[in-house]
Amino acid sequence: MSIENCINKIKQFGKAILTDSTVQIEPTRRCNFNCMHCNHKSNDGDITTDIYEGILRRHGKCKLVKLQGLGEPLLHPNIQQLIDIAKEHRHRVMIITNGSFSYVENVDHYVFSLETMNPEVFESIGKKDLPRVIENIKSAASRQKVSINCVQCSSNAPMDVLAVKKFAEEIGADLWITPQEVWVDPLHEDHAFQVENARRAWQTHGISPRYRKYKVCNWGVSEFYYDYTGAGHPCCIRMTDEYRNSRPCPEVCGSCSL
């Protein structure tokens, strides 16, 4: 192990001792979109308040509660209550939404998923009603600072990313540009399909095969993911049901693209 990796490992465990940095919780498995670059399959299941509060008690020192999973968070029937409970526990709250629902209050970091400004491309990705999404993003940006997460996927092009960048600048939003990821390992039935889609996406957007998002992974150390049933997962990439209650390990994480 290199000296740099040793230093990063020390920082990683030091951060875990001081606090759990991030706890990501899936409010719901339901979604009203069918995005090509997402691993969403089933369309039912909402987290209960009891399970949610139990997770927050387990991670009482966490800095950030991120409300995001395989479903659209704002489809949870009591999403405002979940946000407010986290705030009562003195956590900062991030929500990542597809933008199809109206503004919710008390969110510290409001993030919208947006890959294009072109309605035809938007629908080809598996989304719908781009004008409504744009208006909802503008409305939120008029109330608070927002971020836009633009995935470089196999269904959009560099010109789409540039158009989203221009829109973000116009409304004063931060922009995250995220390469499409492979969400499953080689044993999963969708692995070959996802690998091919990611390969085409990276080729289209000129992303190097040697690109890695993180030098050292913090999942399971200072960052934690729970699905709507309350089950823990290795990370926010291994979200699907076969990874419930498993921990980061070489067998699970060996094929991770991050």
**What does the pLDDT look like over 193-207, one tens digit per residue?**
888 988 999 999 999
Enclosing H/E stretch for 141: helix 130-143
pTM for the whole thing? 0.88
* Each residue's pLDDT tens digit, 206-224: 998 777 776 778 888 889 9
CA-CA distance, 207 to 220, in Å (whole number)? 28
Q: What average pLDDT does this structure show over 71-93? A: 97
The total number of structural domains that make up the chain:
1
pLDDT of res. 86: 97
**Range of the structural domain that residue 71 is part of:** 3-253
Distance CA 257, CA 208 (A): 12
pLDDT value, residue 254: 72
Please check whether residue 241 is in contact with residue 39, taking contact to mean a CB–CB distance below 8 angstroms: no
Assigned domain for 85 exists: yes
Task: Answer whether residue 246 is part of any domain.
Answer: yes
- Is 39 within the bounds of a domain? yes
For position 7, what pLDDT does the model report?
Answer: 53
pLDDT band at 188 (very low <50, low <70, confident <90, very high): confident
- CATH no. for residue 64? 3.20.20.70
Q: How far apart are CA 39 and CA 239, in angstroms?
A: 8
Give 175: exposed, middle or buried? Use CB within 10 Å, 0-12, 13-18, 19+. middle
- Whether 258 maps to a domain, the answer reads no
